[in-house]
């Protein structure tokens, strides 16, 4: 039987340079390299099924199906026959797809032209409650946001799926359409692992499937290098109606898989039993982190009586009230740019952002009383070393002001919309700035945004320890990263 993956990959490389970026963006389309496709196909367990019913939704030129079928042709599965269903909306790709899948003996290809979400959620095709579904699914779904009132969103809601991106919609539908014990392997952005927007999607898949394998690429720009995609992707294998058990986590630097490392973890290290948000963690070593191991780091923010909120001032909505520099009737407006390793600098002349906001009836509800706060910036650059960067807001910097404005690119820790005690704010910042906290945070956060929900789900030392940390920091003056990290190791219950 002729193998087709290398042929499909040759076509993919030619098309990748020809297809306009606008066209790729319209379809959320990034074609799978052969090395990634082959690795994904290798993750399926051996099967005693006589007939395989394979789904490849958003199939492109068929690289994933070809990788799966090449493995079968080489003796990797014992199927007698394969029924391969491939959805592809792009007319430019479908002719290549049909030719590649038609090159296998024993395969019955079914090429479906059209929108997978629209077709799969129609009454006559949706199989969420039917026992006979796809036995295997291999997916590189499109990446594109779904508007809240779009036809896609409404179609998904009709079948009980609530999600915000095409990639998660494709995976949810594939899980829904899978037969009992059906295997789903997908390469998708890691963004679904945390945050409130993907909570319904996490609930949907964790209710219906067991996580069996997660693969993480350590470099963001390698999985889809030909399309210049800078995105943290994972490969995940799910088993429909599977019993929760050990989860294999593998890592590699890039798509050559030359330095592949594999470990097993109990499911409760992947999804913590007491986590109502159902964050999905990806531990990259068998050892527990310093944060996990420390008996002193067990408190929630609720235990501490502290809240964390996103900065409420959305500048473009309050544009008429903003001022470049402070003046009569204004209070400080704080952006991430006002904070650095050396402290708070305000006002800053010549920056592109305003330094002040008028305090009046229209802005009052967006302001906080002047005081000590701990702030964490919400965004970092793609390849920045740290995700969590915490700073202390010191009221003395601003002189005799009664209120402060916090712009939307900051998260702030507070006590019922009031400042924290000085030492508590400083201790919180010290803890958040430790390398161990940052590394632990990256286990469930694979993108550049730090949401208030993420910070809310973390564990912290108790209030007394945080105050001690703050008092220690005040005695030291300017702290190095080495000092901060060493201090974390001295925490006791």
100-112 pLDDT tens trace: 998 899 999 999 9
Q: Is the peptide bond before 304 cis (omega within 30 degrees of 0)?
A: no
Partners of residue 392 on adjacent β-strands: 374
* pTM of model > 0.75: yes
Residue 360: strand, helix, or coil: coil
Query: What is the percent of the chain with per-residue pLDDT over 90, rounded to a whole number?
Result: 71
DSSP letters, 108-176, are EEEEEES-HHHHHTSTTT--TT-S--EEEEEE-----B--TTSHHHHHHHHTT---SBHHHHHHHHHHH
pLDDT digits (tens, 9 = 90+) for 54-96: 999 999 999 999 999 999 999 999 999 999 999 999 888 898 8
Q: Among 77-86, 183-192, 282-291, 460-469, where is mean pLDDT lowest?
A: 282-291
Within a 13 Å sphere around the CA of 95, how many CA atoms are in the beta-carbon half?
3
| Superfamily of the domain at 5-287 | Vaccinia Virus protein VP39 (3.40.50.150)
Backbone angles phi, psi at 235, to 5 degrees: -110, 130
Query: How many other β-carbons are positioned within 10 Å of the β-carbon of residue 74?
Result: 10
Cα three-residue angle 281-282-283, rounded to 5 degrees: 110
Top CATH class of 301-488 equals: alpha beta
Within a 13 Å sphere around the CA of 448, how many CA atoms are in the beta-carbon half?
11
The candidate with the shortest Cα–Cα distance to 240, out of 112, 55, 79, 85, is: 55
Length of the chain: 493
Spatial distance between the Cα atoms of 324 and 331, rounded to a whole number of angstroms: 12
Domain ranges of the chain: 5-287, 301-488
pLDDT digits (tens, 9 = 90+) for 146-191: 998 899 999 999 999 999 999 999 999 999 999 999 999 999 999 9
Beta strand 373-377 with 410-414 is antiparallel
In the chain, DSSP finds a helix count (H) and a strand count (E) of 16, 22
Residue 4 has pLDDT above 90, yes or no: no
Are 376 and 389 in contact by the 8 Å Cβ rule? The answer is yes
Q: Among 10-14, 126-130, 131-135, 199-203, where is mean pLDDT lowest?
A: 126-130
Q: Is the peptide bond before 347 cis (omega within 30 degrees of 0)?
A: yes
Spatial distance between the Cα atoms of 353 and 344, rounded to a whole number of angstroms: 15
Sheet holding 330-334, edge to edge: 322-323, 356-358, 330-334, 403-406, 367-369
Query: How many other β-carbons are positioned within 10 Å of the β-carbon of residue 307?
Result: 15
Equal fold, 5-287 vs 301-488: no
Residue 219 has pLDDT above 60, yes or no: yes
Beta strand 297-299 with 247-252 is unpaired
Band the pLDDT of 381: cuts 50, 70, 90.
Answer: low
Residue 474 confidence (pLDDT) = 94
Rounded average pLDDT over 451-455: 92
The candidate with the shortest Cα–Cα distance to 378, out of 410, 344, 405, 353, is: 410
Rounded average pLDDT over 39-46: 97
The candidate with the shortest Cα–Cα distance to 211, out of 233, 238, 235, 242, is: 238
Rounded average pLDDT over 362-371: 97
Distances (CA, A) of 222 to 11, 153, 233, 257, 433: 19, 31, 10, 11, 29
The tokens describing 293, both together, are 């191991």
Partners of residue 210 on adjacent β-strands: 239
Sheet holding 410-414, edge to edge: 307-310, 410-414, 373-377, 390-393
Residue 42: strand, helix, or coil: helix
The candidate with the shortest Cα–Cα distance to 134, out of 173, 166, 164, is: 173
Partners of residue 113 on adjacent β-strands: 88
Residue 302 has pLDDT above 70, yes or no: yes
């Amino acid at each position: 039987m002729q193998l087709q993956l290398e042929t499909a990959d040759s076509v993919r490389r030619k098309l990748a340079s020809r297809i306009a970026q606008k066209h790729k963006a319209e379809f959320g389309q990034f074609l799978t390299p052969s090395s990634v496709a082959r690795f994904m196909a290798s993750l399926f367990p051996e099967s005693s099924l006589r007939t395989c019913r394979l789904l490849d939704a958003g199939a492109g030129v068929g690289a994933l199906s070809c990788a799966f079928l090449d493995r079968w042709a080489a003796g990797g599965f014992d199927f007698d026959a394969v029924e391969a269903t491939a959805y592809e909306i792009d007319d430019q790709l479908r002719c290549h797809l049909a030719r590649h899948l038609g090159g296998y003996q024993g395969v019955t290809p079914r090429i479906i032209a059209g929108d997978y979400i629209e077709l799969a959620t129609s009454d006559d095709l949706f199989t969420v409650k039917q026992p006979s579904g796809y036995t295997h699914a291999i997916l590189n779904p499109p990446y594109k946001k779904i508007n809240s009132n779009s036809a896609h969103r409404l179609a998904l809601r009709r079948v009980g799926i609530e999600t915000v991106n095409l990639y998660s919609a494709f995976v949810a539908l594939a899980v829904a359409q899978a037969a009992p014990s059906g295997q789903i392997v997908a390469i998708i952005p890691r963004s679904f692992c945390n945050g409130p927007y993907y909570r319904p999607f996490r609930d949907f898949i964790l209710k219906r499937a067991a996580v069996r394998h997660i693969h993480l690429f350590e470099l963001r720009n390698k999985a889809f290098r030909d399309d210049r995609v800078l995105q943290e992707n994972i490969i995940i294998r799910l088993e429909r109606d599977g019993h929760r058990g050990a989860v294999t986590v593998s890592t590699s630097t890039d798509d050559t898989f030359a330095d592949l490392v594999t470990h097993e973890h109990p499911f409760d290290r992947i999804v913590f039993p007491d986590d109502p948000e159902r964050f999905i963690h990806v531990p990259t070593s068998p050892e527990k982190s310093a944060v996990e191991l420390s008996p002193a780091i067990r408190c929630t923010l609720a235990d501490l009586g502290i809240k964390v909120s996103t900065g409420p001032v959305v500048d473009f909505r309050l544009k008429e009230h903003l001022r470049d520099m402070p003046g009569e009737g204004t209070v400080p407006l704080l952006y991430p740019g006002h904070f650095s390793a050396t402290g708070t600098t305000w006002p800053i002349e010549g920056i592109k952002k305003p330094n002040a906001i008028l305090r009046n009836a229209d802005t009052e509800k967006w302001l906080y009383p002047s005081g000590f706060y701990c702030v964490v910036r919400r965004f970092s650059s793609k390849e920045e070393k740290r995700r969590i960067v915490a700073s202390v807001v010191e009221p003395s910097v601003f002189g005799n002001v009664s209120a402060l404005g916090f712009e939307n690119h900051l998260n702030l820790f507070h006590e019922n919309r009031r400042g924290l005690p000085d030492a508590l704010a400083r201790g919180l910042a010290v803890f958040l700035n430790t390398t161990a906290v940052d590394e632990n945070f990256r286990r469930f956060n694979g993108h550049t945004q730090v949401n208030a929900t993420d910070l809310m789900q973390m564990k912290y030392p108790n209030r007394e320890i945080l105050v001690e940390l703050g008092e220690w920091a005040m005695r030291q003056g300017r702290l190095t990263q080495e000092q901060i990290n060493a201090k974390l190791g001295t925490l006791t219950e």
